[in-house]
Amino acid sequence: MLVNISLEEAQNQILQHSHPLDAEYIPIMSALGRVSAADINAPVDLPGRDQSAVDGYALCGVADKYHLIGAGKPGEVPQSLLQPGQAFAVSTGGNLPDGTLAVIPHEKTELQDDYLFPREKVKPGNNIKQAGEDFPRGSLLINSGSIVGAAEISLLAAFGVANIEVYRQPRVAVLCLSKNIISWTSNPELGQMRDSNGPLLGSLVIRDGGIPVACSTAVTDAIALKSTAARLLEQADVLIITGGTYADGENESCSLMKDLGAEVLYWDVPVQPGSHTGFSICNSRQIFALSGNPAACAVGYHLFAAPALKAMQGLDPGLKRIRATCSNGFSKKAGSRRFVRGQLMWTEAGWQVTVLPGQKPSMIRSLLQCNALIDIPAGSPPIDAGREVSVIVIETLKT
């Protein structure tokens, strides 16, 4: 077991054991936000044949007048082969007859009996959607490892693709070891607190594409605790333990990992908040130990667990970093490396990050409106307002 290792070393240990999960086929209407597990190519041209881009007339050849020989109906494939000097009425999106040189809008023509007189120059290809213009047959539609959005679902539907192969979503269970923590749905007695970490982690797991399968609070009996943890591991790909990382010199969560037969890969990472943290593997399942303090728990999730969940879905697990100006500064020196919760936004002067109030590890306040972690190196002096800092983006940014 590695002890007191750097953040980067810890993340490397985690990612060495984080691989894409098995793939599964699901209906495209259930695929929003999922990750494609295979490349998808166009089986046919889109559109399938030449179509009109406007309501008007398909023309063959360049002439001063055209003989109107018919009109197309929506969805119909014209059987007529246009000859030079002939025209055929079409609607927007309608299939064009073979021999069409261009399409001219209704409003750019004069119609006298069965003859059409153009009021603008006829240019080859005008107002024609070419077969395969959007996607030619064989072209790449969706890359493996792409997040499926509404546009991708629309595209697959246009080709009649009913199901898509995606990576299975990681299943995540949460176990709280703090003895004074009760279910968030219960009424606390004196000295007790409701569990806020379980709902926090469950929400973050959903946001990151996973499935929270269970959230349990601790039992006092050691045998029952081991049984509970083992049961959770059977349900999940990942077990996140909160609390019990350090109390009276004991690491209850580390001891529990070992009792489960897990291989503890590291323990302690010198970061604030939440330095007492660890990671282990138990029968290919991952176990994370995070602080029981809400802010420290959230920081630990973003730094350690979130990259693993991304990797399990075939996504890039790397943390997104940018440089930003700190608008209000941070008055504390950094003994060990510190991650300060902040709100990142784009301004006319560039990226700006504001240190949020309530930076104690035990406080939830700093998580509100938090979309970034300010990465302050160990031994740094206080941060003055206006100083440029390194920022890890943890939420989708709104610019």
pLDDT (0 to 100) of residue 53? 95
**Domain end call among 312, 344, 369:** 312
Q: Are residues 272 and 388 in the same domain?
A: no
pLDDT of residue 73: 85
CB-side exposure of 85: number of CA atoms within 13 Å?
2
Contact 92, 52 (CB under 8 A): yes
- Tell me, yes or no, whether 335 and 366 share the same domain: yes
- On whether both 28 and 159 belong to a single domain, the answer is yes
* Average pLDDT along the chain: 94
Say if 365 falls within a structural domain: yes
Query: Comparing 1-5, 183-187, 248-252, which segment has the lowest mean pLDDT?
Result: 248-252
Question: Can you tell me the mean pLDDT for 101-121?
Answer: 95
Q: What is the mean pLDDT of residues 265-277?
A: 96
Same domain, 231 and 266: yes
Provide the pLDDT confidence category of residue 398 given band limits of 50, 70 and 90.
Answer: low
Q: Are residues 117 and 216 in the same domain?
A: no
Tell me: pLDDT of 129 over 70.
Answer: yes
380 and 284 part of one domain: no
Which domain covers residue 34, as residue numbers?
24-45+134-167
- Tokens of residue 361, six digits: 């590890």
Residues 58 and 172 in one domain: no
**pLDDT: is 302 or 397 the higher one?**
302
Are 277 and 180 found together in one domain? yes
Which CATH number do you get for residue 28? Answer: 3.90.105.10
pTM of the model: 0.89
Both 302 and 243 in a single domain?
yes
Give the mean pLDDT of 34-59: 96
Domain assignment present for residue 399? The answer is no
Which of residues 146, 167, 188 is at a domain's end?
A: 167
Is 246 part of a structural domain of the chain?
yes
* Sign of the four-CA dihedral 143, 146, 151, 152: positive
pLDDT in tens, 350-366: 999 999 999 999 999 99
Q: For residue 8, tell me if it sits in a domain.
A: yes
What is the rounded average pLDDT of the residues 148-157?
Answer: 98
Indicate if the pLDDT at residue 244 is higher than 90: no
Number of structural domains (the chain) is 4
Task: Reply yes or no on whether the pLDDT at 248 is more than 70.
Answer: no
Give the mean pLDDT of 62-77: 91
The residue among 113, 148, 167 that closes a domain is 167
Q: How confident is the model at residue 219 (pLDDT cuts 50, 70, 90)?
A: confident
| Res. 17: pLDDT tops 70 | yes
Tell me if 146 is assigned to some domain.
Answer: yes
Residue from 112, 219, 143 nearest 175 by CA: 219
pLDDT tier at 33 (50, 70, 90 boundaries)? Answer: very high
- Is pLDDT at 247 greater than 90 in this prediction? no
Indicate if 55 and 177 belong to the same structural domain. Answer: no
The pLDDT of residue 75 is 81
Predicted pLDDT of residue 179: 85
Give the tens place of pLDDT for each residue, 294-320.
999 999 999 999 999 999 999 999 999
Q: Work out the burial of residue 347: count CB atoms within 10 Å of its CB; fewer than 13 is exposed, 13-18 middle, 19 or more buried.
A: exposed
What CATH number corresponds to the domain at position 118?
A: 2.170.190.11
Q: Which residues contact 163 (CB under 8 A, 6 or more apart)?
A: 25, 26, 27, 28
Determine the pLDDT at residue 250.
65
pLDDT band, residue 245 (cuts 50/70/90): confident
What tokens appear for 209 in the block? 């594409």
Q: Residue 380 has what pLDDT?
A: 95
- CATH no. for residue 284? 3.40.980.10
